[in-house]
Amino acid sequence: MSDDAFVIELRDVCVHYRLPRERIPTFKEFAIKWLRGSVVYDDLLALAHVDLRVRAGESVGIIGRNGAGKTTLMKVIARVLRPKEGQVTIRRRVAPLLELGAGFDMELSGRENIFLNGAILGRSRREMQRRFDRIVEFSELGHFIDAPLRTCSTGMVGRLGFAVATDVEPDILLVDEVLSVGDIEFQRKCTERIEAILSRGTTLVLVSHSPQAILQLCEHAVWLDGGRVVANGPAAQVVDAFVSRFTPRAVAAAG
């Protein structure tokens, strides 16, 4: 199969973070130490030689414990983070849902942010006007759509971000834990929306701490631990290995 069949392709990707070795409590103290050249850094390897290939229309879940490198991987795919080593090729338009409020101006109203976010995702104002009522209805913001987003709850901001990103029909949808926003009923709506866009051929990469969400929405899964790929294959197989590894019995045996 040719490389062009893959809409996401990562080859031997490494991401390093430089972190101060000691905790410096204030910016002033950090600035003084930095000017004196006395800040000592440690190199943290957040992703270690990661290979990943995703075909058009495929749904892939990323699973792992906190600090495993899941969000870093998503930022690399979204092209908001450049790896220190390796090659990243993205062949379609991406709609990233990585952080609550990402791509929004919190001083603007929800209405204004719909058009702003649409422009970021490559949609015209006329097209966003056509989609506007549907986005507001799905987000359940009601009259808060004309309030500055800084006055809205994090859940409301998350719902609006999800509504915009999924309504604009992206080629590739990146979702990092935002299925946890809102109440159970809204989470059900989110799941149904993702299932609908998957049926239309959208490519999905989903980060979730919920094995059930991965199994429900994803054909394949990748298990990350310490920035490295532990397993990559059918979702049921990878999730089973992950869950088995961290059951109380398995943890006790490993200890």
Q: Which residue has the higher pLDDT, 219 or 101?
A: 219
pLDDT score recorded for residue 254: 41
- pLDDT score for 182: 63
| Residue range 46-87, pLDDT digits in tens | 999 999 999 999 999 999 998 899 999 999 999 989 998 999
Distance separating alpha carbons of residues 233 and 220, to the nearest angstrom: 6
- Reading phi first (left if > 0) and then psi (alpha if -120 to 50, else beta), residue 19 is in beta
pLDDT at 22: 72
Arithmetic mean of pLDDT over the chain = 87
Q: Would you give the DSSP letter of residue 159?
A: H
From residue 39, alpha-carbon distances to 25, 108, 113, 252 in Å are: 13, 39, 40, 40
**Predicted confidence (pLDDT) per residue in 191-240, tens digit:** 899 999 999 999 999 998 889 989 999 999 999 999 999 999 999 999 99
Stretch among 49-58, 92-101, 152-161 having the lowest mean pLDDT: 92-101
Mean pLDDT of 2-9: 80
Highest average pLDDT, of 27-36, 47-56, 168-177, comes from: 47-56
* Residues 111-137 pLDDT 10s: 999 999 889 888 899 999 999 999 999
CB atoms within 10 A of CB 203: 24
Banded pLDDT at 176 (limits 50, 70, 90): confident
- The span from the CA of 200 to the CA of 218, in Å, is 15
Q: How confident is the model at residue 187, as a pLDDT?
A: 83
- For residue 24, pLDDT beyond 80: no
Tell whether pTM > 0.85: no
Residue 143 CB coordination number (10 Å)? 8
